[in-house]
Structure 1
Amino acid sequence: MKSIVSLFRSFGAKITLILILSMLFSGAMANFLIYKYALDNQFGQLRDKLKTIAVMSALEIDAEALGRIPLSEDAVNTADYKAVADRMRLIRNAVPSIKYIYTLAKTENPGILKFIVDLENKDKSDTPSAKPGEEYDASGFSQMLAGFDAPASDDKMDRDKWGVFLSGYAPVRDARGNTVAIVGVD
């Protein structure tokens, strides 16, 4: 028994133990860093995919018709609303990963947007879609606001009354290049 205790007190045993612990720590750190890199890379790819889907969606939406939709609840009965909603429904159905697709316009109040067309949830959940003209406080969503200038996507998962999502945004521009609204995809 005394020889085992004296073995662990020897200089060589201490060095060996330190080397083994250092290798275990280095291996664990390497695994963690590889995992973190892979996770960040996949998240970045998802953000890029959302931006691409938003851009392609914005190109498919008739900006002139979108601009003619009145921001009131009875707008859902107009031909322009129905045409834009039908086009957005085709987009959503063509891309299985999209749960929500919607358009928002700026208001005179900074950070406050208004829904133009918000399709029902693909899963037909209990959460109703927003009505035309319904206000949305986007002051806490900087990437959504940035979407009026250029394609953007959320930096992290964000929560609102519809749930927790990662979203992509793109400007919907008219023939003159003016931004009429943004399209958002979750």
Structure 2
Amino acid sequence: MGPDATTTKARLLTAACDEFARVGFAGARVDRIATAAASNVRMIYAHFGSKSTLFDTCFAHMVAAMAEAVPPRGDDLPEWAAELVEYHDRDPRALRISMWAQLERPESTAEPLRVYAAKVATVRPDLTPTSLRPADVLIMVYAIAQSWHLSPDGLVQHAATTTAERACAARVAVARILGTPERPPT
């Protein structure tokens, strides 16, 4: 694949991630994706084969980008929760595509068990309450970090309004779940 083809494929992937995050798999239109990428529909099929494959590629791309930008910090889960809040506020596409995938293409969300096992392994059991499994704690951290994007807008308007306030609230909530001392934002 030459430089032009690589550039075209990258533009298509970016446009597709934007489209899928905005309207989901069923609502997305390949003609809009092609137009946004300054390309054509034929190139989508040439590079990705199908709309389904394009969606799955976007999902994998966005989740990988999030994991790289904010890797699990099992030794400091309150701070990791705050970092996730900040990430989702900066770029909610990974979260939005993940939600659409769970609703419309659950088969695309099935990361291998080994991937989840590696994430759970980052959680230090000695830093979590004995009554909670590390996987349960990880699920709670994700839920807390995503909660402002998943809650009704009317409720969110009464909650923490800035990213810094939401990050602080997430940090405090996770510290309380873990029974660790709360500390000021870093």
TM-score of the two chains, using structure 1 as the length reference: 0.27
More helix, by proportion: 2
In our comparison, the structure showing a higher alpha carbon Rg is 1
More strand, by proportion: 1
TM-score of the two chains, using structure 2 as the length reference: 0.27
